[in-house]
Amino acid sequence: MKSIFINVFNVDFHRYISLLIIIVFIRQTSAGVLPSQDSVSLYTANDKVVILTNQNFSSTVYQSKTAWLIEFYASWCGHCQSYANTYREVAIDTWGWKRIVRIGAINCYTEENSAICDQHTITAFPTLRLIAPETTFNTSKAISLTANDAKDVERELIKELDALQIADKTWPRFRPLNQIAFSDIYSHAPTSVKLMLLIVEKQDDYTGRQIMLDFSKYHEQLTIFRTTIDGKLWHRFQLNITELPALLIVHPNRTTERINTKQNNNENMGSRNLFNYAIRSYIHEKKCIDDFNDRDLEEIIHSKNALKNADKLKKSDTDEKKPDDVVETNTISEKLSMVDLETALSYMLRREIPRIKEIQGEAYDALLHWLTVLIKYFPGREPVMTYLKNLLSKVDNQPNGITGKKFREFADINTPESYLPNNQVRYQYCTGSLPRYRGYPCGLWLLFHTLTVSQVQSEPKRMRIIEIPSAVKSFIKHFFGCRHCSDNFMKETSDFHQLDSGDKNSAIIYLWKIHNHVNKRLHGDETEDPKHPKVQFPSENLCSKCQSDDNNFDMTTTLNFLLKFYSKNNIDLTSVEDFTPSGNIQDELTRKPSIDQYEMIEINHDSTKKFRNIRYIISIIQRFPFYFLIFSVIIIIIIRKRYCKGKRKRYTL
Ligand SMILES: Cc1cc2nc3c(=O)[nH]c(=O)nc-3n(C[C@H](O)[C@H](O)[C@H](O)COP(=O)(O)OP(=O)(O)OC[C@H]3O[C@@H](n4cnc5c(N)ncnc54)[C@H](O)[C@@H]3O)c2cc1C
């Protein structure tokens, strides 16, 4: 009997353990729905850009022998996506400079990397920073981002490398040799030098410095100096040189020899390429540098061609796609998702806004205005609305402004009665066909439209038409990380003060028009998800009567559609997350502000108090399955021991 029982018990015990392990496994893998670092990165291992993460940042960048140019970006940011090819080009063009400077990029969107981006006080994307060699911590230098041109970035980079004024002999001597005696020139080179070149150029020319960097790998044998036409050295040459920039060999006996840089007949080659070609030809011919090879150059040419081909392929792909194909693949959602709205809110409050180190003055007013509008018009669930009210009251209690860090601390507080799910990346209808598409900006647009409709439907006694457009505008101005998008939006909404105050729907129409304008601008752009093309909204599939034959919108039908589409009744609540405890639970209810001060609209009650305790326990189990497993195993072992002990006693009696 005993052995039968123990066997049965053992079988059940093992089954139970296996079941628990499976549950834990499923739970862990479903948590893995979160995009991995690799999947959201805008760069791949095939690029010459080093992918930096929280795992490798410190060990790679700090105390490095080389300087680092780092792009801090967010993969959701449209401008970062368009900019990625420019940055790839920068990395290819500077591949030969890797002994002096490396090119890296870090995605600030992932939670894991966010602390590094915060350390570097990154407030807008993309931001380029230069970190000097041997830097111990975040003494990074801002390097301004000029246009979309890789050449401009390279010039900025050279200027900044030059400004570092590193005296090390292995570092290129960027400063022109203007104040030295020509007879002394060899004393400025290492004793191992086998070839000395002098580039004579105008002051603002970059050729000399580019060439120094291109050949920096051979610094022990090849010394390259530059002199500009205002210095002493120039006077020695000016009779012989009529065309600048010029390339000279300085022999050990101080005689000079001009190298013909026009050997290559390609008219389109810039002076950097012409000089490169001439120097390489000379070295190959004279065999004056040991182990000299063109491997880096070959790699550069190969990578450039690959980049061009990928670009061409993408363009022809977009051009060839017939409109019908596009519509076929486009999944059209007729509903809104509360998950999307809450996820965008969570990312905004916990990541976007806290990026601003000191929220003061105009930015602080913008924050108060934005939170007030959310509280008044966001058609959220009860605990989410309480969360927003608590947050506003805390911010309001800091009249001199608030640090981003403090704001994040406040925004992180979740309690069973006042919470915003701490999910910042998982979207429902705003999910793109690739992790970099859609997501946060999609959720933001939906939130803005929902607010305008909610304002009209809540029928406040005194309605200020520009209340929402002005709150949205100042939020975008101060807090939207995609700087380029924010600048565009500021221009596109410059006329918002002229909104018709006599028409209660004018804010809805205004935002709809602006959004369609942005859709038109971005249609066919590389930020466009091929499965969700940026068409004029609402498309025919969503509202067949909104657009007439001549592609103009019928305003009455369109307005009715928008009022319905963005109404709170059209929000899908099925997949919303309930409360999960975070590290710093505090009972915030004791400090609950009076809600009467806000003109509240009706909100959805999706949970009854009756089940709150059970849900709370379940949420803890879901949150900590591993501890739950260990706890269960211990309980089972104790019960089993007790039972066996009892049995043994009974048998011995
Ligand atoms: C304020 C702002 C400015 C931006 N500026 C830029 C920029 O300059 N450059 C850039 O690359 N990216 C910009 N973006 C991002 C870009 O607009 C998209 O949000 C992003 O590319 C994701 O596109 P999406 O396909 O998810 O559709 P989104 O344009 O994000 O739209 C989300 C959803 O809104 C609905 N919708 C679409 N159009 C309308 C409309 N007219 N009225 C009402 N509802 C509509 C649809 O259901 C759609 O799925 C900006 C985003 C915001 C919030």
Q: Cis ω on the peptide bond leading into residue 538 (within 30° of 0)?
A: yes
State whether the Cα torsion 491-492-496-500 is positive or negative: positive
CA distance 223 to 252: 12
pLDDT reading at 551 higher than 60:
yes
- Which of the pair, 229 or 32, is modelled with greater confidence? 229
List the structure tokens of 623.
């949150």
Cα(323) to ligand 1 centroid in Å equals: 19
Nearest-CA residue for ligand 1 atom 12 is 78
Torsion of CA 18, 21, 22, 25, to 10 degrees: -160
Cα(6) to ligand 1 centroid in Å equals: 63
**pLDDT tens track for 460-503:** 777 889 999 999 999 999 999 999 999 999 999 998 888 877 88
- Ligand 1 within 6 A of CB of 601: no
- Ligand 1 within 6 A of CB of 519: yes
CA distance 268 to 251: 31
Nearest-CA residue for ligand 1 atom 6 is 485
Task: Return the axis-axis angle of helices 555-565 and 506-522, rounded to nearest 10°.
Answer: 90
Least trusted range by pLDDT, from 224-233, 275-284, 440-449, 604-613: 604-613
CA distance 309 to 304: 9
The percentage of the chain sitting over the pLDDT mark of 90, rounded to a whole number, equals 56
**pLDDT tens track for 84-142:** 999 999 999 999 999 999 999 999 999 899 999 998 989 999 999 999 998 887 666 76
Confidence of residue 369 (pLDDT cuts 50, 70, 90): very high
Beta carbons of 493 and 469 less than 8 angstroms apart: yes
CA distance 181 to 174: 18
Beta carbons of 84 and 42 less than 8 angstroms apart: yes
Beta carbons of 430 and 438 less than 8 angstroms apart: yes
Residue 137 sits at the vertex; the CA angle it makes with 54 and 39, to the nearest 5 degrees, is 20
Q: No. of H helices and E strands in the chain? A: 22, 13
Tokens 């369609």 correspond to what residue?
A: 516
Cα(518) to ligand 1 centroid in Å equals: 7
pLDDT reading at 586 higher than 50:
no
**pLDDT tens track for 404-460:** 999 999 999 999 999 999 887 789 999 999 888 999 999 999 999 999 999 999 877
Nearest-CA residue for ligand 1 atom 11 is 78
Residue 624's pLDDT is 57
Beta carbons of 43 and 51 less than 8 angstroms apart: yes
CA distance 274 to 607: 72
Nearest-CA residue for ligand 1 atom 28 is 442
Tokens 């028409």 correspond to what residue?
A: 503
| Amino acid identity, position 548 | S
List the structure tokens of 231.
């210095």
Residue 606's pLDDT is 37
Q: DSSP for 68-125?
A: EEEEEE-TT-HHHHHHHHHHHHHHHHTGGGTTTEEEEEEETTSHHHHHHHHHTT--SB
DSSP annotation of 653: -
Least trusted range by pLDDT, from 130-134, 302-306, 323-327: 323-327
The verdict on ipTM greater than 0.95 is: yes
- Which of the pair, 243 or 614, is modelled with greater confidence? 243
- Select the highest-mean-pLDDT range: 163-172, 180-189, 370-379: 370-379
List the structure tokens of 94.
């500077």
Confidence of residue 563 (pLDDT cuts 50, 70, 90): very high
| Amino acid identity, position 307 | L
Residue 526's pLDDT is 86
| Amino acid identity, position 157 | L
Cα(459) to ligand 1 centroid in Å equals: 27
pLDDT reading at 381 higher than 50:
yes
Cα(571) to ligand 1 centroid in Å equals: 19
Residue 67's pLDDT is 94
- Ligand 1 within 6 A of CB of 532: yes
CA distance 650 to 475: 74
Residue 593's pLDDT is 35
List the structure tokens of 315.
């363009």
What is residue 606's three-state secondary structure?
coil
DSSP annotation of 348: I
pLDDT reading at 540 higher than 50:
yes
- Ligand 1 within 6 A of CB of 78: yes
Strand partners, 127: 72
Least trusted range by pLDDT, from 115-119, 339-343, 396-400, 495-499: 495-499
Which of the listed residues 508, 518, 527, 555 should we mutate to test ligand 1's pocket, taking the one with most ligand atoms within 8 A of CB? 518
Mean pLDDT of the chain, nearest integer? 83
Beta carbons of 65 and 111 less than 8 angstroms apart: no
- Ligand 1 within 6 A of CB of 446: yes
- Ligand 1 within 6 A of CB of 6: no
List the structure tokens of 46.
């095939």
Q: What is the mean pLDDT of residues 190-210?
A: 93
Residue 352 sits at the vertex; the CA angle it makes with 348 and 353, to the nearest 5 degrees, is 90
Residue 149's pLDDT is 87
- Greatest pairwise CA separation for the chain in angstroms: 120
Confidence of residue 267 (pLDDT cuts 50, 70, 90): low
